[in-house]
Homo-oligomer: A and B are copies of this chain.
């Protein structure tokens, strides 16, 4: 059961033994968004074999990264332990690092709600959020819908069910999202080029990587300043 040892007494090695197996860090990524049920994880990681998911969850529990929490009369969820949650800055930094090397999407690549939520967190600039007025967006990518609220307090992201209102706050993103968003827009994977600064919002609309559905289109400028990944700037708290 103990994963094959690398035979070294070293912190990096220990870390890699804990979260270096295939799929493990992606499970952590999704749990960073919130507690998830077995089935949620399976949906969020469409290509993971079910036996691998179950094996990883056991290993992550043994490693003290994840714990299993029964919900009274409601099934059970997996969640990160405090120790597991310490991985957050590392996962976000890895997301920024990997962002630089992302090409265009493969034909059957998907964008999941959790991966997009984490991606927005990796790109979030607190400095821009404090310097600019608050903003309230609704972002559509594929059939994922996110309510993204930026203020001087920070970033709040809630996952919205295609049908109507945000998902159960206990499981999904965060708490209640009152009122209507100021800007609703839809994007394809090309939104990556907006985040990287390769495209301005105007160019993004021109090239149809982005489309305003409703609200104040000028807010796109603010969005582009708030969510931005510059090459070479991997680390942040």
Contact = CB atoms under 8 A, between A and B. Distances in A.
A64 B101 CA distance: 9
Interface in A198-237: 229, 232, 234-235, 237
Contacts of A91: 12
Interface in A65-98: 82-83, 86-87, 89-91, 93-98
A11 B99 contact: yes
A47 B8 CA distance: 9
A59 to B, nearest CB: 13
Interface size class of A (residues with CB under 8 A): 35 or more
A138 to B, nearest CB: 20
Contact of A18 (B87, B101, B232): B101
Contacts of A18: 98, 101
Tell which of A26, A87, A94 has the most Cβ of chain B within 10 Å.
A94
Assembly stoichiometry (copies): 2
Contacts of A118: 10, 12
Contact of A26 (B13, B23, B112, B235): B13
Contact of A115 (B12, B29, B115, B234): B12
Interface string A11-27: 11111111010110110
Given A7-B110, A83-B100, A86-B97, A13 B235 contact: no
A153 interface: no
Contacts of A122: 11-12
A39 interface: no
13 contacts: A7-B106, A8-B26, A9-B105, A10-B115, A10-B118, A10-B119, A12-B29, A12-B94, A14-B101, A14-B102, A20-B22, A89-B234, A235-B235
